[in-house]
């Protein structure tokens, strides 16, 4: 946490007041190479890799193996269709890689066979980024500080709603191909609104609509996809900020309510009741291809949360927000999840100050790392590609994204990964395990064995920063 002297005042607990892959397509060919033509191939590979790197910036060609020579095929530029209602998935499971007929494995690439019937995130919005200039953060006002002690319980739910609903709003998001709705809540009189990143992602126009009918055009001050938190700003007077509680003190069984706009504008201002069903839940999130992208520590609640509730507050009986409603298990009732407000505070403040997050709490959220390569075991590669017996055990690279960090650091097609971040690698499973021990953003070093034309080879050390799975 930065001191107040280092930046603007921050939300805190206090007193109430204010890739494209280039691949060897011979992977699909049952004809292997013998040692003799592998030596010739190695030279061709070395020559072609030089050309690949010259072409990497444009990434306009795919290279395939054809009788000992690389053939460049011009890629057609297809149009990308952005869907506003893109479904993300939630699973509570370990990361798995798909095995093919030759036991090749993709690390960070899109699995062509997505999982079906997986639980889903409650917010379904298109992807996109809202860019804000530094000047939009240069005059950030004092942000509300609220009571962290839940003591003045309301004697009726209607009184609780009366107090808190004035701080809640519907987030109406227009995009180029439709619209979406979500929820949010006010955290300062100066007009800062909190919601989920997936609610506003891809929006071309965002409107904050309070339950009394007041409407305001909103700017995205900062949106962070990893934590799924976004901060909006509206120009309004006399807003009612919600009090911020302390989610670290929650206990299973504590009563809570959720306020938001589920499903449609006609249901704006809906309140549902429930309890805290679990605390510090480790939840793995996957993309539509079944690849784990991150792990978050969340609050579980049985308070009814549905599409449109995303970004709205989870509130205790003292009228304090203790969580940001974010996701639920699809096809199941009564299993919803909220971002703990105590974990969100630092992210919220960094978004207000800088428009981005510079410091993540690894206990709250960690991004799954990716390599964006496809490998197979050397034993299989000896049969498939004619590798000589002198080739060491490890993971044989049969595809690598030219935009990936590992490629830019020096990895080439047909390299053999023999060591990853200090762990000896002899097969695909060992590379999977070694990668799973790391996190996105971490600097790692790996050793690869590179074949020469005469059948000899050399070990090359590569250092790079792991990218986040998407």
Question: In the annotation, is 198 catalytic?
Answer: yes
Tokens, residue 296: 């978050």
Beta-carbon contacts of 344 under 8 Å, excluding residues fewer than 6 positions away, are 194, 227, 229, 324
What's the angle, vertex CA 307, arms to CA 96 and CA 228, rounded to 5?
55
Of these residues, 104, 147, 167, 198, which one is catalytic?
Answer: 198
Distances (CA, A) of 345 to 2, 340, 350: 12, 9, 9
Contact in structure between 357 and 344 (CB atoms under 8 Å): no
Contact in structure between 97 and 436 (CB atoms under 8 Å): no
State the DSSP H helix or E strand holding residue 341, giving kind and residue range, or none if neither: helix 341-354
Report the phi/psi class of residue 405: left, alpha or beta, with left for phi > 0 and alpha for psi in -120 to 50.
alpha
Give the DSSP per-residue string, 216-268: EEEEEEEEETTTTEEEEE---SS--PPEE--GGG--TT-EEEEEE--SSGGGT
Of these residues, 165, 167, 225, 228, which one is catalytic?
Answer: 228
Helix (H, G, I), strand (E, B) or coil at 203: coil
Contact in structure between 338 and 321 (CB atoms under 8 Å): no
Contact in structure between 34 and 210 (CB atoms under 8 Å): no
Alpha-carbon 466 to chain mean position: 14
Give the DSSP per-residue string, 89-113: EEE-S-------TT--EEESSPPSS
CB-based burial label for 363 (10 Å; 0-12, 13-18, 19+): exposed
Contact in structure between 184 and 192 (CB atoms under 8 Å): no
Beta-carbon contacts of 398 under 8 Å, excluding residues fewer than 6 positions away, are 23, 24, 27, 104, 374, 375, 376, 381, 413, 414
Give the DSSP per-residue string, 141-162: -PPP-EE-------SSHHHHHH
Contact in structure between 191 and 235 (CB atoms under 8 Å): yes
Contact in structure between 311 and 197 (CB atoms under 8 Å): no
Rounded-to-integer distance, Cα 315 and Cα 133, Å: 33
Tokens, residue 117: 């019937």
Of these residues, 310, 326, 343, 401, which one is catalytic?
Answer: 310
Question: In the annotation, is 302 catalytic?
Answer: no
Catalytic residue list? 198, 228, 310
């Amino acid at each position: 946490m930065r001191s107040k002297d280092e930046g603007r005042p921050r939300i805190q607990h206090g007193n109430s007041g204010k890739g494209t892959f280039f691949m060897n397509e011979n992977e699909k060919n049952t004809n292997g190479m013998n040692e003799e033509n592998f030596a010739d191939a190695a030279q061709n590979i070395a020559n072609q890799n030089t050309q690949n790197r010259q072409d990497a910036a444009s990434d306009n060609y795919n290279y395939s193996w054809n009788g000992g020579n690389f053939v460049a095929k011009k890629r057609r530029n297809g149009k990308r269709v952005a869907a506003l209602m893109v479904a993300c998935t939630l699973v509570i499971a370990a990361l798995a890689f798909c095995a093919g007929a030759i036991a090749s494995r993709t690390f960070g690439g899109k699995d062509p066979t997505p999982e079906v019937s997986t639980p889903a995130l409650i917010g379904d919005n298109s992807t996109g980024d809202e860019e804000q200039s530094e000047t939009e953060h240069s005059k950030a006002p004092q942000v509300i500080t609220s009571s962290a002690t839940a003591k003045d319980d309301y004697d009726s739910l209607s009184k609780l709603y009366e107090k808190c609903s004035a701080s809640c709003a519907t987030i109406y998001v227009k995009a180029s191909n439709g619209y979406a709705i979500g929820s949010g809540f006010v955290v300062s009189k100066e007009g800062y609104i909190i919601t989920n990143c997936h609610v506003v992602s891809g929006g071309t126009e965002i409107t904050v609509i309070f339950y009394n009918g007041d409407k305001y055009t909103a700017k995205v001050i900062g949106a962070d996809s990893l934590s799924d938190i976004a901060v909006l700003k509206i120009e309004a007077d006399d807003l009612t900020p919600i009090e911020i509680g302390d989610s670290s003190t929650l206990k299973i069984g504590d009563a809570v309510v959720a306020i938001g706009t589920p499903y449609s504008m006609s249901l704006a201002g809906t309140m549902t009741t429930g309890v805290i069903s679990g605390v510090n839940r480790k939840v793995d999130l996957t993309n539509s291809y079944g690849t784990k992208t991150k792990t978050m520590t969340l609050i579980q609640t049985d308070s009814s949360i549905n599409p449109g509730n995303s970004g709205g507050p989870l509130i205790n009986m003292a009228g304090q927000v203790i969580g940001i409603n974010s996701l639920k298990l699809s096809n199941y009732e009564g299993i919803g999840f909220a971002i703990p407000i105590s974990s969100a505070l630092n992210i919220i403040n960094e978004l207000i100050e800088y428009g981005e997050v510079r410091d993540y709490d690894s206990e709250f959220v960690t991004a799954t790392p990716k390599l964006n390569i496809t490998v197979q075991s050397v034993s299989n590669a000896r049969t498939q590609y004619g590798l000589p017996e002198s080739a060491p055990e490890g993971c044989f690279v049969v595809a690598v994204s030219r935009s990936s960090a590992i490629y830019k650091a020096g990895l080439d097609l047909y390299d053999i990964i023999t060591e990853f971040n200090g762990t000896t690698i002899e097969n695909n499973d060992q590379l999977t395990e070694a990668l799973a021990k790391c996190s996105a953003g971490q600097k790692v070093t790996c050793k690869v064995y590179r074949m020469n034309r005469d059948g000899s080879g050399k070990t090359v050390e590569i250092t790079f920063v792991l990218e986040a799975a998407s």
